[in-house]
Structure 1
Amino acid sequence: MNETIFYVGGSKGGVGKSQCCFALLDYLLDSGKKVLLLETDTANPDTYKAHHSYEHEGLVCEIANLDVSDGWIEMVNMADQFPEYCLVINSAARSNSGIEKYGMTLRETLSELNRELVVFWMINRQRDSIELLRGFLNAFPDALVHVCRNLYFGTSEKFELYNGSKARQHIEKQGRTLDFPDLGSRVADRLYSERMPVSMALSKLPIGDRAELRRWKNACTEMFRTAFGEK
């Protein structure tokens, strides 16, 4: 089995996809994995901009447009070209339209690529988060999907629509419901505006900001360990 393909989704803006992607990249690199980042938010490629300048042998960053068929073809070709790299896909808002049209390009090549697809699906407390999740599950019924309640929008108990939904029951047959920790807005803004990965920010930010970032990083590590069955 080649390295895993990770898809960070949510299909709408503002649910925390890029922030989750920052955390996942940091976790995988800390774990000694080689990572290929594929940024698909071509309008606001924040994750790409923050990591591209810090590329090294174990981190490669690319951009692709998954609104068109060529983008899906490029993605599959890159997955084939870098089999020893975890592929982390940071999805764009409204990505479900591209998934519905062209998702089969990835779905039907996973076995040939000899890779597993693992999804971290970010949600807020609104109903459309659940509806968009159902659309993704229809396109990738065999993917291992973890739903992340973004605690920026409140405690886990406040996600009432998802907590009592059939979608949650379906997810938890194989995947998990996770709580994605909130990061102080001041620190999150600096990650994006100063275009730094988490590892660099931990050495460059002021001491108070570093303390908050370290707290968040540790909480994210616990979340990913839970997702991967490491605890």
Structure 2
Amino acid sequence: MATIHFIDGEKGGVGKSLFARVMVQYCLDKQLPYVLVEADPSNPDVGVFYPENTQTAVFSESERKVYAADAIFNLALTNPVIVNLPAHVTKAVNDWIERNQILEMGTQHKVDICKWFVGNGGYDSIQLLIQSLNHFEGKIKHVFVRNFGLCDDWKHVDEREDLQELIQAQKVPVINFPKFSYRERDLLAATRINFSQAFLTAELGILGQQRLHSFLKKAYEEIGKAQVWNVGQPAVNNFLVEKG
């Protein structure tokens, strides 16, 4: 079955776009088929790094744009689809899923849905995750992505009984997205180069490349823990020599 991978979090500034970029790079390095869909065509902040295999779609509450996201399901009939969602589209996405009976159609056409919910540890972010879990009641697989680049202490989240009960009941994988060093992150953003291209630029330097390598390795390990992508033998980045 192909899967629609929603990179979600609802709030802005929680790290959705960076995680989506890593997810695309994960597919490239693991030689997995994918299509990237930018759900905010006015700000394609992932597609600008990976223009190949990138399309656009819009989730809208407007009756005039009711079909604007249908291409996502059609694409998923043949390939996994990574959807980079903008902030504040939960209602429109939920309406699209329910209005078109996407879950039932997915069963019929062998299309799964996975929501990678990126959180920054803040109260509002966690509440939005709880709302999503309650709304779908286990009918859509969620993966809770704890962004350690924005919060390095998640004890207050681990102690929330309401969230932990939902995670246990719905068997939600919890993964830790590692911190990406500011220097390398800013350099890639300023030059609009993707992770593969970064290993070919002299500006990073040997140590910068090693930090990038370590970041991707840790991120890939966490993505693998969710057991969503069908991956065979793990690939090793060819640009740097593995060190233990």
TM range (shorter): 0.7 to 0.9
Q: Does the C-alpha gap of structure 1 residues 168 and 63 become closer, same or farther in structure 2, counting only changes over 3 Å? A: farther
Measured on the aligned residues, the alpha-carbon RMSD in Å equals: 2.4
- Cα distance in 2 between the residues matched to 1:201 and 1:133: 33
Match of 1:113 among 103, 109, 122: 109
State yes or no: 1:210 paired with 2:209. yes
State yes or no: 1:21 paired with 2:9. no
Deviations 1:76-130 (A, max 9, x none): 3343245332100111111213124333233343223311111211111211112
Normalization by structure 2: what TM-score? 0.81
- Cα distance in 1 between the residues matched to 2:155 and 2:60: 30
More moved, 110-119 vs 74-83: 74-83
Give the alignment of 1:57-206 within 5 angstroms. 60-68=53-61, 73-81=67-75, 83-104=77-98, 105=100, 106-141=102-137, 142-155=139-152, 157-161=153-157, 163-172=159-168, 173-204=170-201, 205-206=203-204
Size of the aligned set, in residue pairs, is 223
Normalization by structure 1: what TM-score? 0.85
Unaligned runs of 5+ in 1: none
Unaligned runs of 5+ in 2: 235-244
Deviations 1:164-220 (A, max 9, x none): 242233124322111110101222223333222222222225223322211110001
Deviations 1:41-66 (A, max 9, x none): 334321011111xx2xxxx1011221
- Cα distance in 2 between the residues matched to 1:203 and 1:72: 43
- Residue identity matched to 2:204: P
Deviations 1:116-162 (A, max 9, x none): 1112111112111122113323443311111111101232x435135
Bigger Rg, which one: 2
More helix by share: 1
